[in-house]
């Protein structure tokens, strides 16, 4: 045999062995998270209310884990689907439907302990310790106040159980390996005092940041936080882009008053707006207007406004909607 060819074979075999070892290592050593904590949440009415406020509002659990009626403007929640799951969040990463988080014993999380639910929300692994995709934003929830997470659990335990079997996610390779390495132990942060308006606004705007900030390789681009332009498939076709939320006067929301900002949420959730019928090829949005607009208080939306206004203005013009080709005037 040709000497060169022999070396090539050895080389090739070594690469295969290293790759197999790496694959085996990641498969068996990750995800690296602690055992589910041994906790028993004793719900109070106050906790359930707080949990509901967050689940519908700033934590967006109910947005992702329920059905939205996109035949109506702003896609209000379909009643009776609270927590039943099903929306696909995988896009390029595979098929990753939001799961059933109602207390149904067979198809939901009725059989999970409080600690297992707590671990799923804040560390990103399911009951069996298998990783969840980060489109379930556990890396954000890992920075919330621990008591807020407990309140959310107290609330989702009160959802009416819905029987809805969700097929298990199918991550593509190599995403399946990468996703195994992301779960980690949480770094909780206390809910800032209500007097510290900017810190409160920062705490509550984490979800806004996630949708409104451009990313590169899974990380926010520091100089572009809240500057918008992030593209989403529009619910009725075309592309919808997150708005520029920085205080830039021309391209951001620098000219908006706090009252206008709060009013935009209220009017966007009003029956006059959400009864407007949207047809295929027309604008509709993934922005959870109806959820925030129905539950978030003036005080907390005001804090988010103040926090956004404290950010650096970024000039970035965003075309909010492009209709699908066959509907656009050419």
Give me the 65-104 binding string for ligand HEC, x by CB under 6 A, dash otherwise: x-----------------------x------x-xx-x---
CA 194 distance to own-chain centroid:
25
Among 30, 118, 141, 291, binds ligand HEC (CB under 6 A): 141
Distance (Å) of CA 151 to CA 47, 75, 132, 190, 306: 5, 26, 21, 14, 26
Q: Residue 313 and residue 261: Cα distance in Å, rounded?
A: 17
Q: CB of 124 within 8 A of CB of 139?
A: yes
* Region 208-227 residues binding ligand HEC, contact defined as CB under 6 A: 208, 211-212
Among 240, 262, 303, 314, binds ligand HEC (CB under 6 A): 240
For ligand HEC, how many residues bind (rule: CB under 6 A)?
Answer: 45
* Region 158-197 residues binding ligand HEC, contact defined as CB under 6 A: 169
Q: How many other C-beta atoms are found inside a 10 Å radius of the C-beta of residue 251?
A: 18
Q: CB of 316 within 8 A of CB of 228?
A: yes
136 binds ligand HEC (CB under 6 A): yes
Nearest alpha-carbon partner for 115 in 105, 127, 103: 127
Ramachandran angles phi, psi of 31, nearest 5°: -70, 145
* Region 27-66 residues binding ligand HEC, contact defined as CB under 6 A: 55, 58-61, 64-65
Q: Residue 265 and residue 58: Cα distance in Å, rounded?
A: 13
What minimum distance in Å lies between the beta carbon of 14 and ligand HEC? 34
Q: Which residues are near ligand HEC by CB under 6 A?
A: 55, 58-61, 64-65, 89, 96, 98-99, 101, 109, 117, 120-121, 126, 132-133, 135-137, 141, 152, 156, 169, 205, 207-208, 211-212, 232, 240, 242-243, 245, 253, 264, 285-288, 292, 304, 320
């Amino acid at each position: 045999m040709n000497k060169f060819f022999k070396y090539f074979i050895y080389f090739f075999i070594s690469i295969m062995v290293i790759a197999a070892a790496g694959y085996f290592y990641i498969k068996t050593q990750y995800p690296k998270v602690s055992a589910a904590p041994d906790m028993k949440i004793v719900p109070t009415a106050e906790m359930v209310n707080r949990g509901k406020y967050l689940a519908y509002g700033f934590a967006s659990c109910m947005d992702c884990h329920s059905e939205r009626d996109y035949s109506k403007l702003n896609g209000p929640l379909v009643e009776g689907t609270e927590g039943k799951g099903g929306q696909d969040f995988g896009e390029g990463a595979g098929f990753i439907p939001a799961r059933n988080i109602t207390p149904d014993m067979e198809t939901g999380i009725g059989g999970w302990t409080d600690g297992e639910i707590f671990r799923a929300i804040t560390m990103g692994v399911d009951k069996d310790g298998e990783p969840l995709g980060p489109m379930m934003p556990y890396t954000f929830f890992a920075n919330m106040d621990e008591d807020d997470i407990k309140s959310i659990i107290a609330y989702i335990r009160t959802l009416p159980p819905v029987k809805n079997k969700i097929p298990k996610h199918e991550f593509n390779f190599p995403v399946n390996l990468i996703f195994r390495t992301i779960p980690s132990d949480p770094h909780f942060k206390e809910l800032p005092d209500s007097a510290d308006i900017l810190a409160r606004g920062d705490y509550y705007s984490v979800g806004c940041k996630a949708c409104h900030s451009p990313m590169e390789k899974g990380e926010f681009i520091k100089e572009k936080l809240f500057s918008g332009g992030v593209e989403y498939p529009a619910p009725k076709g075309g592309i919808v882009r997150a708005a520029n939320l920085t205080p830039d006067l021309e391209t951001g929301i620098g000219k908006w008053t706090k009252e206008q900002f709060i009013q935009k949420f209220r009017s966007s959730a009003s029956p006059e707006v959400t009864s407007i019928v949207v047809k295929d090829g027309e604008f509709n949005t993934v922005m959870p207007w109806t959820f925030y607009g129905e539950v978030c208080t003036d005080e907390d939306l005001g804090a988010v406004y103040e926090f956004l206004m404290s950010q650096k203005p970024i000039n970035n013009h965003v075309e909010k909607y492009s209709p699908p080709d066959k509907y656009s005037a050419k």
